[in-house]
Structure 1
Amino acid sequence: MTADPAASAPDVLLDRPRIGLEVVLVLALSLGRSAVYSVLQIVERLTRNVPLSAQTSTLNASATPDRPWLDLAYQLSDIAFALVPVLLALYLLSLSDRPAAQRIGFDLRRPGFDAMAGLVLAAGIGVPGLGLYLGARALGLNTQVQASGLTDVWWTIPVLIISAGENAVLEEVIMIGFLFTRFRQLGWAPWMIIGVSALIRGSYHLYQGFGGFAGNLIMGVIFGLIYLRWKRVGPLVVTHTLLDVVAFVGYALVAPHVSWL
């Protein structure tokens, strides 16, 4: 019986300054940068003469709505470039944690488990999340989130689904797989790892308002606890993808016919 190569890497690396620098660089190129801009954006929103609840946050915005083929090229380019930090994080992990994808559970060893667990988690998180958003809107603590700003063309739904998958891979591989591995190797306690990761996750959603911040902070804590138990990013990617697909595609299909979204 051979040892699991994913469990053979030490939890504490010798070159701690290098690991710290890796964390800073990966975050600066990806979600950490988004968190900084999101904080600046909420400050800008709060200092307007318009109430927060009367403002709109648009996701998946159209770049050239009058030229659909060029818009499609923009959308696919944005998705592709957003995944580069994921490749960087996996590459850096692979230098000390081989195989990196297997170590963090971002592989196909347990597809059935990942799919079923992700589906159950999505069902358990989705409805309370929608309730939190509507409650925050009613209290004036959140903007109106327009989950799809794309024009109605043949590629809209496929691009929204691909975008949902990209968001899930980007956030879960970096915020959970990469950060949890590196923070543990730096000697951080589990509660600190979960707290910092969840705080960053909430921060880069702060542009939506305080409901978006709180909801994603809570989700970050739940995902962190689940990852410490299951040691797999796979179910979290499935959960996040399903939640975003429902939000993006559901908004595109339902929003023109209702007034409460």
Structure 2
Amino acid sequence: MTPPDDVRNPTAPSRARTWWEIGIVLAITVGQSAVYSLLSFVRSIIRALEEDRRISDQQTQLNPSRDSAAIWDLVYQLLDIFFSLALVALVIYLLWEPGKSAFAKIGLDFRRFGGDVGRAVLLGLVIGVPGLGLYVLGRALGLTVAVVASPLDAAWYTVPLLVLAALRAGLTEEVIFLGYLFDRLRRVGWSWWAIILATAGLRAAYHAYQGVGAIVGNFVMGVVFGWCYRRWGRVMPLVITHTLIDIVAFIGYPLAVALFPGVFAPVIPSPSPTATPTPTATP
């Protein structure tokens, strides 16, 4: 009989303790946002049924202004990004082991940066282009809400903040979904494919507020990213891929609205806001 982890390695946490840690981390990060996102999706369906309209007649905003005064908007948005990244730092701290850097453990470093960037660009094309097509299809079928990816009335600080927001999203999702959960779920005995499918499902729930297209697209993205992380053993190329996709989406949104307003323009009138995919989302 194989002895339990805490017998083979006296310093290893017990399985029960690991599950408690996973639950607490999810409750304050992506799991919390997934719950709010699913509730938002349910509310969108109920609202569509009550008003006899389609889900696509509703909208959500990813990077809303926090204040009408420019300086306070900037301060609040920078603080929001900072505290979100603090949760990423917490997860990295939990992954740290004596004598082994957590950054090296999950491959969040610059040792292979050139190769990571090459893989990221290729993967971004593989994921980003079909993802855009799925969004357009979802809008055409009435199953995906209008996603306002960035403000149309840009301020002087808008682009740098959007780049930081994209980096925040890439680090939050990939470090927690892949780096952290893959490590902890392996410790409690899950198989690789069980972990890949479970984290892909959580990623889909995390983006459910955007509608059916986002649920399907992010589940597929989660499977592909999970397989790549299992094969490469590095989270860095996936963080770069995610960040690049979001930078293109955020900064390119005004141009997309100008060229294809029927698909990308905000819905008027705007419904009440829905939950956003940040670890600090509120209902």
When the two structures are superposed, what TM-score results if normalisation uses the length of structure 1?
A: 0.92
> Which whole-Å CA distance do the structure 2 matches of 1:78 and 1:175 have between them?
20
Deviations, residues 128-154 of structure 1 (Å, cap 9, x unaligned):
000011111111111011111364111
Deviations, residues 41-93 of structure 1 (Å, cap 9, x unaligned):
111111112420100111101111x3111111111111111112111111111
Count of residue pairs the alignment pairs up: 250
> Which whole-Å CA distance do the structure 2 matches of 1:135 and 1:186 have between them?
39
SS in 1 for 2:37: helix
SS in 2 for 1:106: coil
Matched with 1:210 is: 212
Matched with 1:86 is: 88
% identical aligned pairs: 46
The answer to whether 1:240 aligns with 2:239 is no
Report deviation, 1:253: 3.8
Q: What amino acid maps onto 2:221 in structure 1?
A: M
Structure 2 gaps, min length 5: 1-8, 265-283
Greater shift, 12-21 or 46-55, is seen at: 12-21
Report deviation, 1:183: 0.6
Matched with 1:38 is: 37
> Which whole-Å CA distance do the structure 1 matches of 2:19 and 2:111 have between them?
30
Q: Does structure 2 retain, via aligned residues, the 8 Å contact 1:30–1:85? A: yes
Report deviation, 1:257: 4.8
- Which residues in structure 2 correspond to 1:69-218 (within 5 Å)? 69-95=71-97, 98-149=100-151, 151-218=153-220
SS in 2 for 1:47: helix
Matched with 1:7 is: none
RMSD of the TM alignment (CA)? Answer: 1.6
Match for residue 60 of structure 2 among 54, 57, 60: 57
Report deviation, 1:96: 6.4
Q: Does structure 2 retain, via aligned residues, the 8 Å contact 1:202–1:213? A: yes
Matched with 2:281 is: none
Q: Does structure 2 retain, via aligned residues, the 8 Å contact 1:60–1:150? A: no
SS in 1 for 2:190: coil
SS in 1 for 2:147: strand
> Which whole-Å CA distance do the structure 2 matches of 1:101 and 1:80 have between them?
19
Matched with 2:251 is: 249
Q: What amino acid maps onto 1:16 in structure 2?
A: R
SS in 2 for 1:145: strand
Q: What amino acid maps onto 2:133 in structure 1?
A: G
Q: Does structure 2 retain, via aligned residues, the 8 Å contact 1:150–1:156? A: no
> Which whole-Å CA distance do the structure 2 matches of 1:131 and 1:232 have between them?
28
Greater shift, 193-202 or 90-99, is seen at: 90-99
Report deviation, 1:14: 5.0
Report deviation, 1:97: 8.0
Q: Does structure 2 retain, via aligned residues, the 8 Å contact 1:61–1:150? A: no
Q: What amino acid maps onto 1:55 in structure 2?
A: Q
SS in 1 for 2:108: coil
Q: What amino acid maps onto 2:62 in structure 1?
A: L
> Which whole-Å CA distance do the structure 2 matches of 1:93 and 1:38 have between them?
27
Structure 1 consecutive aligned stretches of length 4 or more whose deviation exceeds 6 Å: none
Matched with 1:3 is: none
When the two structures are superposed, what TM-score results if normalisation uses the length of structure 2?
A: 0.85
> Which whole-Å CA distance do the structure 2 matches of 1:20 and 1:97 have between them?
24
Q: Does structure 2 retain, via aligned residues, the 8 Å contact 1:206–1:213? A: yes
Match for residue 220 of structure 1 among 215, 222, 236: 222
Q: What amino acid maps onto 2:66 in structure 1?
A: A
Greater shift, 83-92 or 233-242, is seen at: 83-92
Report deviation, 1:256: 4.0
SS in 1 for 2:155: coil
Q: What amino acid maps onto 2:180 in structure 1?
A: F
> Which whole-Å CA distance do the structure 2 matches of 1:220 and 1:257 have between them?
30
